[in-house]
Structure 1
Amino acid sequence: MGFFDKLKLSRLKDGLSKTRETIRDNISKLTQGRTEIDDEFLEDLENILIAADVGVETTLNIVERITEKARTETYRSEDELNTMLFGVMEEMLLDVADEHPADFEAPLPAKPYVVLIVGVNGVGKTTSIAKLASNYHKSGKKVIIAAADTFRAAAVEQLQIWADRAGVPMISQGQGADPASVVFDAVSSAVAKDADVVLVDTAGRLHNKSHLMEELAKIMRVARKKVPEAPHEVLLVLDGTTGQNAVSQAREFTKCVNVTGLVITKLDGTAKGGIVLSISRELRLPVKYIGVGEKIDDLQIFDRSKFVKALMGNM
């Protein structure tokens, strides 16, 4: 494993420290002095996992598997019990195949590759766009950002600051402009300049779903005038600190938009990082990227195996 891979793993582990402490510390207290599993133990375990937002469905499956093992196995020590518990939880959490996005260095399936980024205001959409742009830019790809969230006064200015940090150009027309017009300009520029990736910011309004659908549909129609198969990806950004509210947001957005993947942000600021596993199981949508810090390189491609090991503290 190279230096940068180790650095990413270290950041992932650090970013999940609050969730890991919630799970491991509470389970250690639960198993202290125990060598057997009873109904009270299983109820307490359920509460620990749900508190970490692992999700009801996943939690119940974990408890069911542990119950089955407890019927046929005996545990001579607290350590043996802990080993079994964490083994079952890792096995269960890994039991959903995710569609992993390719490394940023990998060849893209289309050029320009148009990515629509959606999500309500305040979830970290702007910074996620900048982090994606930075990763693609560092891998040698030409990136253009389209500032199509023209509704909020500060949206364009904020995105410009982050685009400058990422070292990539941004196409904008200012507050109140037609978002579809901004996207048309950005995609046209990408075609003319032989750019590799277009990242499209969109408005974060959800209270008026019909308007949101109309706006996004118009953006997609306009983009297709220049790139017939655009957008190639629709990423929904969710705030990991909001727990099950993020699941509700995702359900609402998927009613409006054909979401192809999720970006879960702010995992370094929550003890409920289990939401990543919960949301991917419940919505059957792949989590493609996770944010584990505020730095521009703190967006990581989601790897379920590494995530679970970091979450359970076995890395």
Structure 2
Amino acid sequence: MFNFLKEKIKKIYTSFTTHISSIFSRNTLDEQFFKELNDLLIESDTGTITTNKIIEKLKNDTAQQKITTMEQAKQELENLLLNNLNNAQPASLTPKITLLVGINGSGKTTFGSKYAHLLQQSGKKVLLVAGDTFRAAATQQLAEWGSRIGVPVFIGKENQDPASVIFDACTTFKNEHFDHLIIDTAGRLQTKVNLMKELEKIRKIINRQLPNEEIHSWIVIDAMLGQNSLRQAELFHEATKLDGLILTKLDGTGKGGIIFAINEKLQLPIVYVTFGENVQDIKVFNAQEYVHHLLFE
């Protein structure tokens, strides 16, 4: 399965794996080796903090002769990258109530639709909610996706308060015995205070309507934005409780390191990745496979 994904996101592997192979083809673990590895990690958006930690650990292990060969150094690099991704609490892959947050253009609506289709394919009854009532195009896009995949979409009136739409959607969810509720929220870039208030209001409505259900908030991030993705994730993380991270458009970037930078800063589990326009272009994120294929051709 992952070889298929590797083909889909070959920009990352072509860009990173080729260079990493070149660096590790050197004969000695010298300063030039560490400089080249440092530069590659930074260029791949791995982030200064994560990169410094990796280089410092490899240098120390080399100095203490815990690492004496390139093969050992590469294995330790794999371990360090994996530890970075595994330091977050695992997320539920199929929560009953999912709140999708993130800025406009991050791919929230498309991800929500692909995720709904995934659940539907496993025999679940899914309700999508158009919570972005301020942008007609967002509602229309979700309605089109719903029609395409055969999943009902709950749509309020234009400019209706999002919390009011979600209140009504929760009633439908209960009355019609749906298994999953996926809420596509507005993606406006706003102040942290306003964002916090809006998301808090939505959470209160859901808790009132569905008191026995846990709400899972996933932030949807565009992989192509690099370090800007990290800044967005930080804003939302400060504004509301996040349970997981979705990385979209992974096929459009050659910089796969942002995954490690976000994890280092926020310790959020990556739940799914998407990588194309087709409804099937979605996979559960597997840290071990991702890291191994980054380092080994």
TM-score exceeds 0.5: yes
Moved more, 212-221 or 245-254: 212-221
Q: Contact 1:11/1:292 (CA < 8 Å) preserved in 2?
A: no
1:100 is the counterpart of 2:90: yes
Question: Which consecutive unaligned segments of at least 5 residues does structure 1 have?
Answer: 1-5
* CA displacement 1:7-50 (0-9 Å, x = unmatched): xx123212332222222222333345x31122222112101011
1:49 is the counterpart of 2:32: no
How far off is 1:225 after superposition? Answer: 2.2
Q: Contact 2:91/2:269 (CA < 8 Å) preserved in 1?
A: no
How far off is 1:55 after superposition? Answer: 2.1
**What corresponds to 1:226 in structure 2?**
209
> In angstroms, what is the RMSD of aligned CA positions?
2.0
**Alignment coverage as a number of residue pairs:** 294
**What corresponds to 1:308 in structure 2?**
291
How far off is 1:267 after superposition? Answer: 0.9
Question: Which consecutive unaligned segments of at least 5 residues does structure 2 have?
Answer: none
Give the Cα–Cα distance (whole angstroms) in 2 for the partners of residues 273 and 119 of structure 1. Answer: 19
Give the one of 124, 127, 132 matched to 1:141: 124
Specify whether residues 267 and 85 from structure 1 end up closer, same or farther in structure 2 by C-alpha distance, changes over 3 A only: farther
Q: What residue identity is the alignment partner of 1:146?
A: V
Specify whether residues 102 and 218 from structure 1 end up closer, same or farther in structure 2 by C-alpha distance, changes over 3 A only: closer
Moved more, 297-306 or 244-253: 297-306
**What corresponds to 1:175 in structure 2?**
158
TM-score (normalised: structure 2):
0.92
Give the Cα–Cα distance (whole angstroms) in 1 for the partners of residues 74 and 67 of structure 2. Answer: 16
> Matched residue of 2:136: which SS?
coil
Q: What residue identity is the alignment partner of 2:18?
A: D
Give the Cα–Cα distance (whole angstroms) in 2 for the partners of residues 234 and 74 of structure 1. Answer: 41
How far off is 1:115 after superposition? Answer: 1.0
**What corresponds to 1:67 in structure 2?**
59
How far off is 1:229 after superposition? Answer: 4.6
How far off is 1:157 after superposition? Answer: 0.3
How far off is 1:292 after superposition? Answer: 2.4
Same amino acid, percent of matched pairs: 36
**What corresponds to 2:21 in structure 1?**
28
**What corresponds to 2:98 in structure 1?**
115
Give the Cα–Cα distance (whole angstroms) in 1 for the partners of residues 30 and 284 of structure 2. Answer: 39
Specify whether residues 102 and 125 from structure 1 end up closer, same or farther in structure 2 by C-alpha distance, changes over 3 A only: same
